[in-house]
Chains A and B, each alone.
Chain A
Amino acid sequence: MTAPTIALFPEASFGAALNCVGIAQQLQRMGARPVFICHPGFTGVFAEYGFREYHLPDPPSEQSEDAEDYWQGFINTHLPHFDLDPLAQLPAYVAPTWEAIVDTAETAEPGLRAILDRIRPDAILLDNVIMFPAIANAGCPWVRIVSCAETEIPDPAVPPYLSGLAPEDIAACATFDRAYRAATASAHRRYNQLRARNGLTTLPDGQFLEPSPSLNLLLAPSAVRYDRNVPLHEDSFVFLEGCVREETRFDPPPFAVEEGPLIYMSFGSLGAIDTALTRRMLNVFAGMDARFLVNAGGFLEAYDAVPDNVSLASWFPQPSVVAQSALFIHHGGNNSFCEALYHGVPSLVMPYCWDGHDNAQRAEATGTGRRLDRADWDEDDLRYAILGLLNDHPMHARLSGISRQMQDTPGTHVAARAVLSLL
């Protein structure tokens, strides 16, 4: 019998991409043949882990020589929006992003259909926020991976997606929900037209991706799950205790002073564009008795006079680094949050957009970390937040228990078993 081919299609973000690598590594161990469909900008990311890649065609705008100008425009336009609260971000950032996501779905459709015709997968794993008609029409089971936040799957007792609200804040939740539907209405109309053209049913307001009829994998460790009014069907919804991939061993670099706890900071590749924020934080780190590893992404050249207790790099094997850290300062990306929980490390979440708001709220509510506004802080706020988390012994005890539980039931194993059981 030939190995079943499983096509994984993560969206063009490192969180989704590397989460899928964890599942693919386990699928491969269990005898399947995982392959990746990806944006050409992710060329090599999966090949380096030994997986075959199929690239979607370059979108026309990228073929021009001004890709850097395009991103400089993105930074100039959206960097100030990252300081807004979730409600104010709806018209400023969320609405244009949904327009861009719908553009992506439209542009990708012919190329994706051609790739799926070529691969003829036995199952498709979609880690994205939007449905691509080619996937629904591929003639094989497809699996939805919910890797942003549990709020992606609505419920009356779960706050709205991207709101950063607590479930008990009912009035604010209703206001946000209305504003979200209004902000996304134009993109949603266009998207439903795309679905109709490709023979799919339309979706209700505000929804761009339906649950899979076969299997839905939710990256939501039990420690941070919501109590739902309407429980999800156990036969098609499987919760994962994180999806941590295996990485190469990381040895921290030598520091001038080898004392103090090791603290890791990463705001993801997108968050790294805010070099002014990082520089401000480095000034505070310089005066603390701790060692800091800071992910500067593609912007290393923006830094000089780096403090002696800080080491910058453009990339870290994150799971290996988090495992050795006493604190993880991050943006609330679900992968980062889950990796912190998996290794029992407290999170200081400074969200700037999207699911970061929801995970920041969840970290506070479940006593697994705390939220700090990314714009509204002074040196003492940051210093005390860090010291408070380092010295919060009840939180450390709670996190140790969560870590043990997550490591006992690795999400990658559960996910791979559930996927193979579909075949």
Chain B
Amino acid sequence: MAEGRRNARQNHIALARQVLDAVLEHGLRAGDHLPEQRFSKVCGVSRTPIRAAFKLLESKEILEWREEEGFFLLVAEPDALAEAARGLEDMDGSLAARILSDRADRRIGDVQSVSGLVRRYNASRHMVLNALKILSRDGVLTQLPGRAWAFQPMFDSPKAIDDSFAMRLTLEPQAITAPGFALDPKRAGLMRGQMDELLRSREGAITAAGFLRVDTDFHGLIAECCRNRFLRGTLLTHHRLRQATQKDTAIPDFRLRQALEEHLDILDSLERGQFDLAADQMTLHLRRSRNRRSEAATRGFAPMMRGPRR
């Protein structure tokens, strides 16, 4: 029960952050009305959790409630909204989130002991064990024989992200062409709505965090619609890890929009039952997204790229 409450609260916090991203992306101004229905479409959830997220933002003095009118934006300055988003991060700052964030930022190593974490975070042994259990359930951490815990490989370097793309290029098109693939029309419709909303935002308004969330949701949807249980399981675990540990990558606005258009093209093909075409479009989409920057470059010498890149 307690875990259910904690999860619900974390969902509301995550949703509140999503609302803040949407406010930024749509360039809303102080005093603008935030219709629940519109935000329910933007965030791809029903109106009840949106109302809970709005109430959370009201408690942070970002929104105000007007009787019989609804919720209105009190703060619209990008810096103030970013500050509010950070405030929500703090609320979300359960020990598990802090441990994960510190690992992703290379502040702590791959292998950790409970006593080491108790010292670092000045937390009780019970709290640390609970946090480790949460991370273990999400597939981020595994317990080694003995008392140590080891983090799974993370999205914490360009090489790791490249390895991820290499794996996804192999599996994601396969997931689409595997027998029995069936698109969930309701979820696809919600995803489409979110991506359309992002595409309608003004140039430069799509945040890296907002894009990453939609991107992992889209690829997660594709995985969930696959009927091959092993492909589905592998991809879902991988996307959960991406969501948990991949840093927001700064991608130019043009490419963010192009990637969203590619997602929509893939959905179009899936809805028409053109699975081979959708799989090819997925390959193209992942190849374009995989473009890696040179790791070092200077005049006169060929730029350094590690590993194959085609």
Contacts and interface: CB of A to CB of B under 8 A. Distances in A.
B189 to A, nearest CB: 28
B302 A12 contact: yes
B291 interface: yes
Contact of B157 (A67, A247, A300): A300
Given A68-B306, A306-B106, A315-B293, A247 B299 contact: no
A305 B105 CA distance: 9
Contact of A247 (B252, B291, B302): B252
A168 interface: no
Contacts of B295: 269, 297-299
Contacts, number: 159
Contact of A251 (B85, B253, B292): B85
A12 B157 contact: no
B229 interface: no
B158 A249 contact: no
B107 A97 contact: no
A48 B252 contact: yes
Interface string A267-307: 00110110000000000000000000000011111011111
Nearest to A50: B254
B305 A67 contact: yes
Contacts of A308: 107
Contacts of B107: 305-308
A303 B302 CA distance: 25
B80 to A, nearest CB: 12
Given A248-B253, A254-B86, A74 B301 contact: yes
A49 B304 CA distance: 21
Nearest to A49: B252
Contacts of B86: 254, 258
B227 interface: no
B303 A42 contact: yes
Interface in A13-32: 13-14
A392 interface: no
B237 interface: no
Interface band, chain B:
35 or more
Nearest to A98: B300
Interface in B70-121: 78, 82, 85-86, 89-90, 101, 105-109
Nearest to A301: B157
A43 interface: yes
B294 A42 contact: yes
A388 interface: no
B78 A297 contact: no
A298 B251 contact: no
A195 interface: no
A312 B288 CA distance: 25
A323 to B, nearest CB: 11
Interface string A43-84: 111011110000000010110000110110010000000000
B291 A43 contact: yes
A390 to B, nearest CB: 20
A104 to B, nearest CB: 6
A326 interface: no
B11 to A, nearest CB: 19
A370 interface: no
B273 to A, nearest CB: 31
B294 A269 contact: yes
B297 interface: yes
Nearest to A354: B299
Interface in B211-269: 247-256, 258
A315 B250 contact: yes
A14 B299 CA distance: 10
Nearest to A11: B299
Given A254-B89, A272-B296, A315-B293, A59 B250 contact: no
B204 A246 contact: yes
Contacts of A357: none
Contact of A61 (B204, B206, B302): B302
B252 A67 contact: no
A270 B291 contact: no
Contacts of A62: 302
Contacts of A252: 82
Given A48-B291, A67-B304, A306 B105 contact: yes
A284 B212 CA distance: 33
B292 A49 contact: no
Nearest to B249: A315
Nearest to B83: A258
Contact of B247 (A49, A297, A301, A313): A313
Given A246-B204, A251-B209, A312-B105, 11 more contacts: A12-B301, A14-B294, A42-B294, A50-B255, A247-B250, A248-B251, A248-B252, A269-B293, A270-B298, A298-B158, A314-B157
Interface of A: 11-14, 39, 41-45, 47-50, 59, 61-62, 67-68, 70-71, 74, 97-101, 103-104, 128-129, 246-254, 258, 269-270, 272-273, 297-301, 303-308, 311-317, 320, 354
22 contacts: A12-B297, A12-B302, A39-B303, A42-B297, A48-B291, A49-B255, A50-B255, A50-B258, A61-B302, A67-B302, A67-B306, A68-B307, A97-B299, A248-B206, A252-B82, A253-B247, A254-B90, A269-B293, A270-B296, A298-B295, A298-B304, A305-B107
